[in-house]
Amino acid sequence: MTTYFDYAATCPIDEEALEAYMKASKEFYGNTSSLHDAGTKAAKLLEHCRTSLANLMNVKSEGIYFTSGGTESNVIGIQALLDAHPGNHIIASAAEHSSIQHLLEKLEQEGYEISRVSLTPEGILDIKELESLIREETALVTIQHVNADIGTVQPIQRIHTLCKKWGSLFHSDCVQSFGKVDLASAAPYFDSFSISSHKVYGPKGVGAVYIRPSLSFQPLLPNVIHESGVRAGTVNTPGIAGFLVAADKSVASLEEHQSVIRKRKEYFMELLTEAAGELTVLGGLNEVPILGLCIKGMDGQWAMLEANRKGYAFSTGSACQVRSEGPPQTLLSMGFSEQNAKTFIRLSFSHLHSEEDVKGLADCLKQIMADQVRKVNV
């Protein structure tokens, strides 16, 4: 059996979220755009979910559009903001998720000028660099709320202030922050932001994007009827119902979960005290489930595969980039050399972990480190 420490990649579905998904699949199966009673019944559930989600994040429900997940939400949010602003300059952090990086590559080909801001060695956006790059033509600043590799929380209030000063719009990828930190207090700073269901124990293939309702923009496709014309395709009502149950639980238990996660992370580092000289902790021991670690001289990919053989699952970065060549951009933008960045592993914790799970992981890593020393000495 595997003990799972890759909750930032995806989570198992919560039992109550699964029940809601099944109930809605059986009882609210109508197409939300159909005019008969089955459609109306599903549409009512959908609007109830929209209002509940808006309340969880302290935003207006008219700004919420349900999507297939964080990736699509990032694309829809960014395209909407670019349509709403005449500028042709975009600023992004060098550590954005691949869903944003891929979109930026396309936008660059279409003629947008893209500037990328580095992170400081502590993994925080370099505000001075942002300040030196932002200008009147800057249509969009896109900065993640919580970093997907090392779990640092970005200074969104300061970024918002700069955007306001220059009239730029601010999109934030909140996929790793929703249900993990207080997004309701951060939401007023964003013009658009994205969230995803499967990172908070909801069903996969569901998410939402918030776009400030006062912004005027043309949707990507014309004449779409679903989601007020912003997102085409039959609405996944059962998935959204499951998402809302999971989201509700995550937000309601936020502080309790944060406290368990902080304790588990601290306990884990305590267990590795003897090996501290061989380890670099990235992002610090905050309340976010993610913990970045570099083990001196050990290839992260090798550590991950060895741990997998011993029954422990973690990753070497965001799941969408681990199959691509090279180490995480987050580390490179913090100033790590390629070689050092390759020693990176990402552990992501859950409130579901027991102390025994954490001890097992620490023992497993100690064993892998000891095996490596033995190999070198042979």
Give 6 or 306: the residue with its C-beta nearer to ligand PLP: 6
Burial of 155 per CB tally in 10 Å (0-12, 13-18, 19+): middle
| Least distance CB 178 / ligand PLP (angstroms) | 10
Q: How far is the CB of 44 from ligand PLP (least distance, A)?
A: 26
Strands 169-173 and 3-4: unpaired
Pick the closest to residue 17 from 252, 351, 254, 245 (CA basis).
245
Least distance (Å) from ligand PLP to the CB of residue 317?
Answer: 10
Name the residues annotated as catalytic.
320
Q: How many angstroms separate the Cα of 334 from the Cα of each of 159, 282, 289, 301, 316?
A: 18, 10, 20, 20, 16
Least distance to ligand PLP, CB of residue 35, Å: 31
To the nearest 10°, the Cα dihedral for 337, 340, 342, 347? -120
DSSP-derived secondary structure for 317-342:
S-TTTTTSSSS-HHHHHTT--HHHHT
User: Dihedral (C-alpha) 267, 268, 273, 277: value to the nearest 10 degrees?
Assistant: -140
**Nearest to ligand PLP of 220, 275 (CB atom):** 220
Our CB check for ligand PLP shows the closer of 174 and 361 to be 174
Site for ligand PLP, rule CB under 6 A: 69-71, 97, 99, 144, 148, 173, 175-176, 196, 207, 318-320
Distance CA 212, CA 83 (A): 13
- Quote the least distance from Cβ 330 to ligand PLP, whole Å: 11
Contact in structure between 46 and 33 (CB atoms under 8 Å): no
Give the nearer residue to ligand PLP in terms of CB position, either 272 or 334.
334
Question: In the complex with ligand PLP, which residue's Cβ is closer, 97 or 257?
Answer: 97
